[in-house]
Amino acid sequence: MHRGPLFALLERYLERFPEDRTRVERIRGFVLRHADCFERSCGAGHVTGSAWVVSRDRSHVLLLRHRKLGAWLQPGGHADGDPDPAAVARREAIEECGLESLALVEWWRDGSPSVLPFDVDVHPIPARGAEPAHLHLDLRFLFVADRGEPLRASGESEDLRWVEQDEIAALSVEPSLLRMARKAPALLARV
């Protein structure tokens, strides 16, 4: 797989979010060491894409209760060979939630729209059955969707719901989820 576009995406991300250098360097180092980083078969870990989905009126966020992890999370998942994490995030949100009205929030750079994650994270996934513990190197993209659109949970979720911004902390203490909950409204206020 060609990793050059991912490195370029991470570089553009750092220009906008220099405070995230440590997480970006951790992802970049992993990707440099693992040419198969977009494949689930990369046992040490793999690149994933997530969608932070906000309602059009920006009052709610779509979260799912992940069946295997037992936690409230944003939709997202494995690249499965796709080197475009934004496309992965969109695909996973559609598969896990049934949403078709997803609109990717693009950021303006040099007078042109640019696809850019709004957050990145590296987190461990515990061993489960024959699958060993590994890392997810997650690039998170901001999407807007219609809250009135019917939701369709996949078999990976126990529950799926629109959550008011101020209720997110009651559902999760996961630091990266709370970071996205703080980050997204400030960013959306500028687009």
- Would you kindly state where each structural domain of the chain is located, as residue ranges? 4-188
Element (H, E) at 141: strand 134-145
Q: What is the pLDDT of residues 31-85, one digit of tens each?
A: 999 999 999 999 999 999 999 999 999 999 999 998 777 889 999 999 999 999 9
**Separation of CA 149 from chain center:** 21
| Percentage with pLDDT > 90 across the chain | 72
Which of 64, 69, 179 has the alpha carbon at shortest distance from 128? 69
The structure's pTM equals: 0.93
The number of angstroms, rounded, from the C-alpha of 191 to the middle of its chain's C-alpha atoms is 19
CATH superfamily membership of 4-188: Nucleoside Triphosphate Pyrophosphohydrolase (3.90.79.10)
Q: 177's torsion region: left (phi>0), alpha (psi -120 to 50) or beta? A: alpha
- pLDDT at position 1, please? 47
